[in-house]
Amino acid sequence: MQTILLIDEMRYGMAELASMRNLVAALFRLEKSQSPREIREVLGYLIDWLKAPEQQSLRRAFTVMLGRVLLPRKVPGQTIPELNNLQEVDAMLAETVQEWTQQWKQEGRQEGRQEGRLEGEAYFLLRLLTRRFGPLPEWVSERVNNADQSLLELWSDRVLDAEILKEIFE
């Protein structure tokens, strides 16, 4: 009969895993990492711990796991080159972290601008409706605040022609 050891990865915090200094803890830290900096920190330990010639298969296993499983999951949409060793993983991360960070910041800014525009259009439409029809029922605010761009534009176009509030939302 074979015995299997089950370890609950989620029970361990990053600080506790870092203090363990073993390959299983390193694997868990890689899985839980939130930034390329955290991945590179663990990589530094792995490079040091797995430098003996007899650990070649472990080095290769970690390299493959990082290049084919972990990094594609951590940085979706990015092309991960074929990596031959842990040093290449570390070098690739060092070179591309700044590029990825800039890309993520740009994407975040674009999302923020879009959300800001949408919120601004909803706010402006609510102001127009209040000015035109007086105090608004709660359902109007809910619909406007949950509307997408095209609905907000449609409803805004109807403000000038509608005689009653309900005509705008029909």
Report DSSP letters for 30-52, one per residue.
HHH--SHHHHHHHHHHHHHHT-S
At residue 10, the pLDDT reads 84
Show Cβ contacts of residue 166 under 8 Å, excluding neighbours closer than 6 positions: none
Burial of 49 (0-12, 13-18, 19+ CB in 10 A): middle
DSSP helix, strand, coil percent of the chain (3-state; round to 5): 75, 0, 25
pTM (whole model) above 0.85? no
Rounded CA separation 136/72 (Å) = 49
The pLDDT value recorded for residue 8 is 85
For residue 104, the model assigns a pLDDT of 66
Q: Tell the residue number behind the tokens 């619909």, with chain if given.
A: 143
Cβ(129)–Cβ(159) below 8 Å:
yes
Query: How much is the pLDDT for 131?
Result: 92
Enumerate residue ranges in the chain where pLDDT < 50: none
Q: Please name the amino acid found at residue 154.
A: L
Question: Measured in whole angstroms, how far is the alpha carbon of residue 117 from the centre of its chain?
Answer: 22
